[in-house]
Structure 1
């Protein structure tokens, strides 16, 4: 078991392109850390630097009490699970899992015991005599995870291991990997895991903490709930959450003792405690952020409410237990997430009123894009 620490870690390629910009990250012993971000944000590059598959060109990487900058991958105490499984096609599952241990000259009886123990954990005992071509994608990935477990590394590294699987299987396996992490911790075994994904739903459901990256820079490292409810900046706010947060450009203004913004000339008032935090921004451009679940359609039978806007229904996604309503205002599109109301006309083009819960809003500095409310 070991912690992983990156100190001002950088990656610059020979052509001068800087992929990783001096990041600092501390992964605690036994923690499940997820690296997430859009394509090209350097999450896989960062993982490969930790693994030793990419040279580090600045800063330091520590695994446990060792700086591993100049230590080859095989001696770093890591085990990696790849997106494409990386199994030897001519070997059985048992042989694939045993290969690394044989290379280290581990005794045969110990190899057998480790493989059987891992197979039991992953429920793949009946697959040990099969070759990869005789297994489904999900079964192959379980074998790849089993191969990592038997090595008893200090750190597990996962590089988008579920992205080649269908949606239903991805959900099933992400639960199994999280359960495996919990089980290993209870047993006092290796449990430090760093997991790369581009899927923010996967990140939110799996990570103890999540590191959000963009263009080789860390945007925020926090728990899933804090990332969702307390995003530090506009990028994190818009990236985390599905459907995405509504973000609109507007201006803060004040009328007597009330602070407000306008959406298509309709006045939306801020709560008093929030207004105090943004008082120095009066008269300035800002970004207003509202989660879809904090915008709700007002029934045609309800009395006129404060903080409502009028929009034209564009598309409605019926999810059964909820509905996602896309509506337009003056050429801009917004999203509301709500409990279905079968009595309301949601046909395309219908004009509806939507109430905004300003107690849950976020306001971002127009220049720095930092969350002013925090």
Structure 2
């Protein structure tokens, strides 16, 4: 068990490109921390610096009470699971899982005990004497995880471990990794895990907390619930959530003491009273209005406030719900509804929608900071 602390971590390459910009982050003992962000945001680079596989340009990395900047990976008490499994093709599952312990000259009985214990956790006991080529991708990835478990490291590092698996296997392995973290905690030996992914579903379902990265900078570190419901800025709001949050560049207006935003020249949306006070200094200034698709519903006949009429452009049937794409004055919006009466035959028609602005967000146009965050 160990905390991981990053202080002013930077990574700059010989060509002067700076990949990581002064990252500060504290990962708690036994926490499951997920790094998520778009391709090129430096999430894997940051993980590799923690592992010692990538040199840092400046800053300090601590694992537990030790500064590990100058330590090689083998001395950092970490175990890493890679995207490509990195198994020895000529060795059995047992020998792959035992390899690290054999190199450290552990007693044979202890090696066997640890390998069998890990295999039972991951339900791969019947595979111990197969070779990697005789197994599926999901089974190979479980072996790679098992190889990390047997070492009983202070920190587990996962670098997009499920990205090579099909959708069904990804779900299965995601559950296995979550169960592993819980079982280690229940056994009294909680493991600190740092997990890199570009898949926000993995991030939201696995992480105790999530670190959202973009262009080598931390955008927000928070619980999955807070990232979704209280995004700190426009980037987090747009990146977390599927479908993405609706974002409309607009201007705050005042009429009869009330604050509004104009979706179009003739469509005005009232801002909730509890959000108005913090926005008064932004009257007649540009902002970005955000609202999630599930907070846009098909309007009832008697709805009159915060109603827009949209022209349907796409209807996606997701089974128990539908994503409805519609345009209002040339601006595209998405609603997520349970209404089973809407179908592709309605494309091209006009439908009235109600915006539940209790859950809306207003972002500064220039800094992109969430002005209405609690």
Q: Determine if the TM-score, normalized by the shorter chain, exceeds 0.5.
A: yes
1:300-319: CA deviation from partner (whole Å, max 9, x where unpaired): xx124210111111111111
The match for 2:28 is: 28
On the 8 A contact 2:315/2:343 being kept in 1, the answer is no
The match for 1:109 is: 109
On the 8 A contact 1:316/1:346 being kept in 2, the answer is no
Distance (whole Å) between structure 2 residues aligned to residue 13 and residue 169 of structure 1 = 36
Distance (whole Å) between structure 1 residues aligned to residue 344 and residue 214 of structure 2 = 41
**CA RMSD in angstroms, aligned pairs only:** 1.1
Q: Which moved more, 1:80-89 or 1:342-351?
A: 342-351
The match for 1:44 is: 44
Alignment of 1:77-92 (within 5 A): 77-92=77-92
| In the alignment, structure 1 residue 150 sits paired with structure 2 residue 136 | no
On the 8 A contact 1:321/1:340 being kept in 2, the answer is no
Distance (whole Å) between structure 1 residues aligned to residue 124 and residue 257 of structure 2 = 66
Residues 320 and 369 of structure 1, relative CA distance in 2, 3 Å threshold: same
Distance (whole Å) between structure 2 residues aligned to residue 38 and residue 292 of structure 1 = 21
The match for 2:93 is: 93
Unpaired segments of 5 or more residues in structure 2?
none
The match for 1:340 is: 339
Distance (whole Å) between structure 1 residues aligned to residue 341 and residue 248 of structure 2 = 29
On the 8 A contact 2:314/2:344 being kept in 1, the answer is no
The match for 2:59 is: 59
Give the total of aligned pairs: 372
Unpaired segments of 5 or more residues in structure 1?
none
TM-score normalised by L of structure 1: 0.98
TM-score normalised by L of structure 2: 0.98
The match for 2:289 is: 288
Distance (whole Å) between structure 2 residues aligned to residue 31 and residue 306 of structure 1 = 44
The match for 1:193 is: 193
Q: Which moved more, 1:181-190 or 1:253-262?
A: 181-190
On the 8 A contact 1:61/1:67 being kept in 2, the answer is yes
The match for 2:363 is: 364
Distance (whole Å) between structure 2 residues aligned to residue 345 and residue 39 of structure 1 = 33
1:241-283: CA deviation from partner (whole Å, max 9, x where unpaired): 0000000000001001211011112111111111112111111
Q: SS at the partner of 1:279?
A: helix
